[in-house]
Copies of this chain bind each other. A is one copy, B any other.
Amino acid sequence: MKISKEKVRKQFSEWFDWVLSEAEIYDYGRYPLKGVGIWMPYGFKIREKVLAVIRKLLNETGHEEVLFPLLIPEDLLRKESEHIVGFEEEVYWVTKGGSKDLDVKLALRPTSETPITYMESLWIKSYKQLPKKYYQIVSIFRYETKATRAMLRVREVTSFKEAHTVHETFEDAAKQVREAIEIYKKFFDTLGIPYIVSKRPDWDKFAGAVYTYAFDTIMPDGKVLQIGTAHHLGQNFTKAFDFKIQKRDGTLDYPYQTSYGISERAIAALLAINGDDHGPILNPYIAPIQVVIIPIPAKDDETTKKIINYCNDLKAELDKNGISTYVDTDPERTPGEKFYIWELKGVPLRLEIGQRELNNNTVFIKRRDTLEGISVPRSAMVDEIKKLFEKIDKDLKENAWKEFNSRIRYMSDLQKAKELLNAEGGIIEVPWCGDNSCGLKIQEITDSRVLGEPDEKKEVNDKCPVCGRQAKTVLRIAKTY
């Protein structure tokens, strides 16, 4: 069977909404409030799996999970002047308790630098306690005025993993930003989501940061999605909160901080990146259901019963081997309807079990990604499935990276770059002298958004298309979500 990606690329929006609702992942647009969604049971399980990956990576590297209050009193949020300016127009305010007006307005956290810095100033007194690395996974709220989109641009971000760290020196914090980038690389590598890391331009860094790195991926429609950020906060927040520590040399000084975040956009990318016209394809090591077994009824009830028993035996064997399996015995759906729904749910392997398999003591295994099927003896089933998991994992990742890399191009002509972005999306690297004014001009001329520059400056044998001086590096531009 030929795999088509026509729909997912050309009508991505419709495809994505169809997947979220039909596969019962995330109900969006029906709750009577704009910009919020509901994680349905199957979606919740995918979310759990993804969060387990990041939790493990963070716990292994000395991060400690905590839980801070949702509500931030107005004066706390206003402490760091650049920060509040950045978020001012996006904050939801609680102004009433019961029928009473509150004395102080309370913000729904748009992010937690301010409450966390405030508490850190009470908890941390000495360099001996450093580095300190906290994280939490919470809902954050942004009163987005732009068009909201399921999972991609929402007003309640329900799966925000925010890490916050404290360090003695600027360099320690800079190293922490590097650690964050390494952790996120492992995270996205595990999920099989290709990415590019850019240093965001000064005019687009996090409100209150010294500098910001960001992870971007390219969605099937060619538009770029920011899927992670890491910020060096310098002493901006510690100064605002008068948070000092005793340093190694006995003096008192403000410590340095970083923060870094990811959200359910990682889940959106996971669903989209490997999608085809049958739905998403989940990585076997992330899928909450790794194998679905579909009994194909026989003509007589007795044989059908035997087939179902055989299916249940197979499930027991797979479960015993740590393979999460579901047998779909729903009598009201035909096998064809079941194929459709489980492909749409992205389950990486399905077993089609009918009279032939029962009689021959075999299983027929179908890969979700290639839709290729093979028949193997039952005794070889577990090994074959484990081998296929490895293969699917490898193939999905290779294909995703190949596709991703093919969509990153270098161009020095801004008009052509603009046309290409309009036609195909992707990421274009253009030569750049390094001046912000030229960067902003590039953004304007190409009607795009600047993602930033590469981490390591790239040698470019070209001139800045705006000022004509020798380029020092490249600037990445794209159409973004």
* A interface, CB within 8 angstroms of B: 27, 30-33, 36-41, 44-45, 47-48, 64-71, 73, 75-76, 88-99, 105-106, 108, 115, 118-119, 122-123, 128, 134, 139, 141, 143, 145, 156, 158, 332
A40 and chain B: residue at smallest CB distance:
B66
Task: Please determine whether B95 and A91 come into contact, CB atoms closer than 8 angstroms.
Answer: no
In this complex, what residue of B is CB-closest to A24? B123
Instruction: Please tell me if the beta carbons of B95 and A89 are within 8 angstroms of each other in the complex.
Output: no
Residues of B within 8 A of A36 (CB): 69, 71
Q: Which 7 A-B pairs have the closest CB atoms?
A: A97-B143, A41-B64, A89-B98, A39-B67, A93-B96, A36-B69, A95-B95
Contact present for B31 and A119 (CB under 8 Å): yes
Chain B residue contacts of A94, Cβ below 8 A: 92-95, 108
Question: Is the CB–CB distance between A95 and B98 below 8 Å?
Answer: no
Which residue of chain B is the closest to A67 with respect to CB atoms?
B39
* A92 to B30 Cα, complex, angstroms: 24
Kindly report which residue of chain B lies nearest to residue A38, judged by CB atoms.
B68
Given A38-B68, A40-B66, A70-B139, A90:B98 Cβ within 8 A: yes
Q: List 14 A-B contacts (CB under 8 A).
A: A31-B118, A33-B69, A33-B106, A38-B119, A69-B156, A70-B141, A71-B92, A90-B98, A91-B97, A92-B97, A93-B96, A95-B96, A96-B105, A98-B145
CB contacts (< 8 Å) of A139 on chain B: these are 70
The answer to whether B32 touches A70 (Cβ under 8 A) is no
When distances are taken between beta carbons in the complex, the residues of chain B under 8 Å from A119 are 27, 30-31, 38
**Contact residues in B for A70 (Cβ distance below 8 Å):** 70, 108, 139, 141, 156
Q: How many angstroms from the CA of A224 to the CA of B143 in the assembled complex?
A: 42
With the chains together, A260 CA to B37 CA distance in Å? 23
Number of copies: 2
B90/A143 in contact, CB under 8 A = no
The main secondary structure of chain A at its interface with chain B is mixed
Contacting residues, chain B, for A134 (C-beta < 8 A): 41
Return the chain B residue nearest A158 by Cβ.
Answer: B67
Closest CB in chain B relative to A366 CB, distance in Å? 27
Inter-chain CA distance A108–B332, complex, in Å, is: 40
- Assembled-state Cα–Cα distance A62/B139 (Å): 26
Q: How far is the CB of A219 from chain B (nearest CB, A)?
A: 23
Chain B residues near A40 (CB-CB < 8 A)? 66
Known: A71-B156, A118-B31, A143-B98. A66 touches B92 (CB 8 A): no
A90–B108 Cα distance when bound, in Å, is 17
Flag if B76 contacts A32 (CB, 8 Å).
yes
Partner of A31, one of B89, B97, B115: B115
Taken together as a complex, chains A and B put the C-alpha atoms of A95 and B40 apart, in Å, by: 28
The complex places the Cα of A143 from the Cα of B33 at a distance, in Å, of 23
Cα distance A67–B44 when bound, in Å?
A: 7
Give bound CA distance, A73 to B37, whole Å: 14
Contacts of A44 in B (CB 8 A): 64-67
Cα-based distance from A282 to B88 in the complex (angstroms): 44
Give the residues in chain B near A115, CB-CB below 8 Å.
31
Q: How far is the CB of A106 from chain B (nearest CB, A)?
A: 7
Query: What is the distance, in angstroms, from A127's C-beta to the closest C-beta of chain B?
Result: 13
Q: CA A216 – CA B45 in complex, angstroms?
A: 33
Shortest distance between the CB of A99 and any CB in chain B (Å): 7
The smallest C-beta distance from A96 to any residue of chain B, in angstroms, reads 4
Q: Which residues of chain B have C-beta atoms less than 8 A from A143's C-beta?
A: 97-98
A222 CB to closest chain B CB (Å) equals 30
Alpha-carbon gap, A97 to B91, bound state (A)? 6
Distance between A61 CB and nearest chain B CB, rounded to angstroms: 14
B residues in contact with A37, CB < 8 Å: 69
Contact A69 B38 (CB under 8 A): yes
- With a cutoff of 8 Å between Cβ atoms, the chain B residues found around residue A38 in the complex are 66-69, 119
Give bound CA distance, A32 to B158, whole Å: 25
Query: A92 with B96: in contact, given A38-B66, A156-B71 (CB under 8 Å)?
Result: yes
State A191–B139 Cα separation when bound (angstroms): 29
A99 touches B88 (CB 8 A): yes
With a CB–CB cut-off of 8 A, which chain B residues contact A27? 119, 122-123
Q: A30-B122, A44-B65, A97-B143 are in contact. List 20 more A-B contacts (CB 8 A).
A: A31-B119, A32-B118, A33-B73, A33-B106, A41-B66, A44-B64, A44-B67, A45-B65, A47-B67, A70-B156, A90-B97, A90-B98, A92-B94, A92-B106, A93-B94, A93-B97, A94-B94, A95-B95, A96-B105, A98-B143
